[in-house]
Chain A
Amino acid sequence: MDRALLIISTLLASIGGVLGMLSVHRGSRSRWTVVWMVAAFLCQIGFLSVRGEARGACPLRGLGEILAFLAWSLTLFYLVVGPPYRLSLLGVFTAPVVVVFQVAALVPGVLTDHPERASGADPWREIHGAMSVLSYGALALAGVAGVMFLVLDHQLKEHHLKSGLFRNLPPVRELLQSMLRLLWIGCGLLTIGIVAGFMMPRSGANGHLIAAVATWVGYALLLGVKTLRGLTGRRMALAAVGLFLISLTVFAFV
């Protein structure tokens, strides 16, 4: 049941992404992407509910659940930020990332078929897991906005203004503002996650906590430099994309 929901969600996000790309290619706006993403989001909620019920805790045990939770968080932030701020194409750029995370979660062996019930769940551990992965959703979406900015910046600098993609991308300033807003939200949630991580009972290796602190330092530096000194849009976008990819890679190994 849970796996089926995740597969359906992945299919819905794929359809939304592909249809969105096709309408952009035709030069028109992708008005239906948000509908497909809402449907995918509902299936994600279904998946997480079933897993959470089975675990008797937040479904964040194992790589498969973390990836699915991350995809849910990314979709959540897209739905919170994209349509209300009229950031067209954010859904088209978000859908492929959601699909990649969920396909990775669906690879045989990644998602346990019979999740073990958690014994004596610790609230600090739950907060640590949930906030950390939620923060990654915001930071991933900041990376998506960063990619959109880099595409638009390149087109504006090189005077390539004929494509449907150019016509439909949101303005530079709105992309930069959204990216910054998401970085602050992500950094704030990560701070809560890290504090909760230090409060939870720990035994043995603290690798992932050290990685989380290193990630936090990276983002805090980026936001500090942006606020105090200022930063060009291109550098901020590259940093947002780069930091997300690096931290994701680090977490895959710890």
Chain B
Amino acid sequence: MELVCLGLNHRTAPVEVRERFSVMTPKLGEASREMAALDGVSEAVVISTCNRTEFYLAADLGSATLRLTEEALILEHGLGADASHHFYRKQGGEAARHLCRVVSGLDSMMLGETEIFGQVKQAYQAALDSGTTAGVLNRLFQRAFGIGKKVRTDTRIQEGATSIGSVAVDLAEKIFGHLKDSEVMILGAGEMSRITAQALVSRGAKSIFVTNRSYDRAVDLANEMGGRAVRFDDRQAVLEKVDVVISSTGAPHAIVTKEHVEIARRARKYRPLFFIDIAVPRDIDPAVGEIEEVYLYDIDTLEQLAEEARVRRKRQIEDCELIIESELAKLNLPGT
């Protein structure tokens, strides 16, 4: 019995190809059953996320199974033979190593992300429930989960926020702790503000105020986020009560100056205030950062912090690979 993996991901296939092979979560079990029904295949697990679709199979003849599976998939999805170059094929130990890398987040678009661990577990559970796993794949997946956990515990692969939105949210939590008592004001109804504010809401921010030169757009965004729209001229009053201000207007000059914040300080009783300025040109006058209780971060600083975290994670890859290698060496996985 030989272990094989056939797959495509964000590196090998564009989204228009990936989406054709994508399998919805409720259909994962059924997809595993279909794969296990192929000639010579005795076990199958299908993993499908927005960035990858992978087929882990235990078969009598590895190379032949890979070729047959690939042909069947291309035929089923109505693609030409040239679609073959989007696939990667792994056999034996290489397939086991690949699964461990996937589970550990080393093969993800955002290096070290943790969501993939849950997604693979879900896919394995679906296959297990469908009865398409046995001695080879059960042992492989259970060991891979253990190795994935060890990689995350023993290295810093998941440490630090790697996107502007997540850096901003981490900083907000460093200042305010739980965000359930924090109020947020969004200046400008742009996409970046929306993404960052959504990240804050997902971590429990108490309320959102949206203000924009076009009141209608503020209302739209406020409705979308379950917040309250505020007229642009009334923003000073809101500044007196909120904890976090996210700004990304298209204004050619600063729309929040030191004087604006100085006026609000007394009413705020000098509570900490966190400004996230993701506009270019900047919306918040840099002099605002000189005020004692104000923490001001502009887009360059946030991007730099995200980049530093990405670099730190990249430096961890070697350590992660070593853990995977040494753990796999200890095991005598069937099919590898």
Contacts and interface: CB of A to CB of B under 8 A. Distances in A.
B308 A162 contact: yes
A202 interface: no
**Interface range, B side:** 20 to 34
Interface stretch (A7-15, A36-44, A60-68, A225-233): A225-233
A246 interface: no
Interface string B170-205: 010111110000000000000000000000000000
B269 A173 contact: no
Contact of A230 (B171, B175, B266): B266
B143 interface: no
A185 to B, nearest CB: 21
A235 interface: yes
A248 interface: no
A123 to B, nearest CB: 41
Contacts of A230: 266, 268-271
Given A162-B308, A172-B272, A233-B272, A157 B295 contact: yes
B271 A235 contact: no
B271 A171 contact: no
B93 interface: no
A234 interface: yes
A171 B292 contact: no
Contacts of A235: 270, 292
A174 B270 contact: no
A234 B297 contact: no
Nearest to B167: A161
Given A161-B305, A162-B308, A229 B174 contact: no
A159 B303 CA distance: 12
Given A229-B269, A230-B269, A230-B270, A157 B176 contact: no
B200 to A, nearest CB: 15
B271 A156 contact: no
B37 to A, nearest CB: 49
B289 interface: yes
A156 B292 contact: no
Contacts of B173: 171
A156 B301 CA distance: 12
B269 A156 contact: no
B308 A173 contact: no
A129 to B, nearest CB: 37
A171 B289 contact: no
A157 B289 contact: yes
Nearest to B304: A159
Contacts of A27: 156
A229 B297 CA distance: 27
Interface string A215-241: 000000000000001111111000000
B175 A232 contact: no
Contacts of A172: 174-176, 272
Nearest to A86: B177
**Which of B156, B266, B272, B297 has most A Cβ within 10 Å?**
B272
Contacts of A173: 175-177, 272
Interface in B190-247: none
A23 to B, nearest CB: 14
Contacts of A157: 289, 295
B293 interface: yes
Contact of B175 (A156, A159, A166, A234): A156
A232 B295 CA distance: 12
Closest 7 CB pairs of A and B: A230-B269, A171-B177, A232-B292, A232-B270, A230-B270, A232-B293, A172-B175
Interface of B: 156, 171, 173-177, 266, 268-272, 289, 292-293, 295, 297, 301, 305, 308
Given A161-B305, A230-B271, 20 more contacts: A27-B156, A156-B171, A156-B174, A157-B289, A159-B297, A170-B177, A171-B173, A171-B175, A172-B176, A229-B266, A229-B269, A230-B269, A231-B269, A231-B270, A232-B293, A233-B270, A233-B272, A233-B292, A234-B292, A235-B270
12 contacts: A152-B174, A157-B295, A161-B171, A171-B176, A172-B176, A173-B175, A174-B177, A230-B266, A230-B268, A232-B270, A233-B272, A235-B270
